[in-house]
């Protein structure tokens, strides 16, 4: 059963859905305040707690890229559970997240037409086979925000170092598919200002809806 926490207006027409770990959940109120301060209006932010990041958010199984823990590919079960939060046809749903949750958000939009926008902050586009999957498919939404820290692609990990090339490639491809897309570069590495980066992502999507 999903653990879901909310911030913002419960009656809002626009619902933002974000997978989060327990540490991120502690800053949920701050993130909602940041979204509002950046211009986001009329929204409800729903945070879904993720217990096993590599299992629950990976779209398919893949070997370890850092450390020893691989990816179990449990994303489809997570997506099916999240779609249960999106049953009100009077509302508009935006999915987003940070790091692997940002990658999951992109994958969810390719898998389901339920989402009107994606807020992918520092998404893990180095994930094996993911860029090929995206470019061979079709996004189910028409607004996508992408961001990356300007030091993220300078990692010594050869797989993760491809993230810059992958995100530029995706940002260049999306407009040709009719997608309103923004790619923003933030200062710092992958671990700098995740709440602010995610809030900027959601605020931009809200501003374009």
Residues 6+ apart with CB under 8 A from 199: 31, 34, 35, 38, 40
CATH code for the domain defined by 4-208 = 3.40.50.1820
- 13 within 8 A of 27, measured Cβ to Cβ: no
Q: What share of the chain is helix, strand, coil (3-state, %, to 5)?
A: 40, 25, 35
Per-residue confidence (pLDDT) for residue 46, from 0 to 100: 98
Q: Three-state secondary structure along 171-204?
A: HHHHHHHCCEEEEEEECCCCCCCHHHHHHHHHHH
**What are the structural domain ranges in the chain?**
4-208
The structure's pTM equals 0.97
Average pLDDT over residues 69-94: 96
Place of tokens 């607004």: 143
Whole-number Å distance between alpha carbons of 18 and 119: 9
Q: In angstroms, how far is CA 115 from the centroid of its own chain?
A: 12
Average pLDDT over residues 164-173: 98
Whole-number Å distance between alpha carbons of 91 and 86: 8
One-character DSSP codes across 80-92: HHHHTT---TTSE
| pLDDT tens digits along 102-158 | 999 999 999 999 999 999 999 999 999 999 999 999 999 999 999 999 999 999 999
| pLDDT tens digits along 1-57 | 689 999 999 999 999 999 999 999 999 999 999 999 998 889 999 999 999 999 999
Per-residue confidence (pLDDT) for residue 52, from 0 to 100: 96
């Amino acid at each position: 059963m999903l653990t879901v926490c909310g911030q913002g207006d419960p009656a809002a027409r626009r619902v933002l859905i974000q997978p989060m770990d327990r540490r991120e959940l502690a800053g949920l109120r701050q993130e909602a305040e940041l979204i509002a301060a950046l211009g986001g209006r009329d929204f409800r932010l729903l945070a879904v707690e993720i217990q096993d990041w590599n299992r629950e958010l990976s779209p398919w199984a893949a070997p370890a890229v850092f450390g020893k823990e691989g990816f179990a590919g449990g994303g489809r079960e997570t997506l099916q559970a999240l779609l249960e939060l999106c049953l009100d046809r009077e509302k508009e749903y935006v999915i987003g997240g940070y790091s692997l949750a940002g990658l999951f958000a992109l994958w969810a939009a390719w898998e389901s037409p339920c989402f009107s926008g994606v807020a992918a902050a520092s998404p893990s586009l180095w994930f094996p086979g993911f860029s090929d999957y995206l470019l061979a498919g079709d996004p189910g939404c028409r607004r996508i925000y992408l961001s990356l820290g300007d030091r993220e692609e300078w990692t010594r990990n050869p797989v993760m170092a491809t993230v810059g090339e992958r995100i530029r490639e995706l940002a260049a491809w999306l407009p040709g598919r009719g997608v309103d897309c923004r790619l923003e570069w933030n200062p710092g590495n992958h671990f700098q200002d995740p709440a602010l980066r995610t809030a900027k992502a959601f605020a931009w999507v809200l501003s374009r809806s």
